[in-house]
Amino acid sequence: MPREITAFSNPLIKRMRRLRDKRHRRTEALFLAEGLRILTEAREAGHLPQYLFFTAGSADHMLVEALVAATEAAGGDAIQTNADILSKLSGKDNPGAVVGIYQELPTGLPRLDRGAADIWLVAERLRDPGNLGTILRTADAVGAGGLILVDDCADPFSVEAVRASMGALFTVPIARASRDEFIAWLRQGPGQLVGLSLDTDHDYRDPAYTAPVFLLTGNEAQGMPQEFADECDLLVKIPMHGKADSLNAAIATAVMAYTVLDRLPRR
């Protein structure tokens, strides 16, 4: 049976609010997701929150009822509260009907099975959580095996990244590694490393791609460092016909991912 919390001074509310800070997320090994669609997709993917916050006005919604029942059946805590507290938790003036607090997902690189998919996405020092979340959505859309975050990337468990992923955080495996760790793992088996770069004459539509393809997107402002470009099996560029010198990192990744997918032999 859900309990009710309506006071900002409640210790649990204070503790959960701090999850918007990266340091506290790491200390607690918890992260926050908000919105009925995202939490429902998480439930369908087999992920249930440790704490589920919902408003009295949404309690009778069929999907909220399903979330409450599943959370409590799994030993989680369902808590009825008000919109003001949901706003404080999520950091949004107009929060969704529900907020969930989840155990941080595993991010170990060795657990990935490169044979599970023909295409994988790799981001190097990606700094914008919105870009990270959007790339996760692209990974889900193209059926990528996962997203590998190399070196100092934005936190995939930040509220902004989770929100931008629109639930893909719960459906796409994520791994985190240093460049050296990633290259060492990659070269232990098959895998074509394809880097997006402005410093090449190879049009992205021309090469033959060989599965599994690891599609590498560099830092938004600086691109990838030369030492990482040297590790790539292939560098390609997306031609720019206007005044802009490049596309947004997340958009470029999506364009490339669908192009690679279209050129790989069908299984």
How far is it between the farthest Cα atoms of the chain? 63
pTM over 0.75: yes
Residues of the chain with pLDDT under 70: 1, 266-267
pLDDT at 267: 59
Give the per-residue pLDDT at 60: 87
- pLDDT, position 245: 75
For CA atoms 165, 59, 85, 48, the dihedral sign is negative
Please tell me the predicted confidence (pLDDT) of residue 77. 96
Q: What's the pLDDT at 93? A: 77
Task: Give the contacts of 31 (CB within 8 A, at least 6 positions apart).
Answer: 19, 25, 101, 102, 104, 157, 158, 162
Give the pLDDT score at 129: 96
> pLDDT value at position 35?
92
pLDDT of residue 125: 96
Count of C-beta atoms within a 10 Å radius of residue 56: 12
Give the pLDDT score at 40: 96
Q: What pLDDT, on a 0 to 100 scale, did the predictor assign at position 66?
A: 96
- Residue 160 tokens, joined: 């902004």
pLDDT of residue 171: 96
Q: Which domains does the chain have, with CATH numbers?
A: 3-103 (3.30.1330.30), 109-263 (3.40.1280.10)
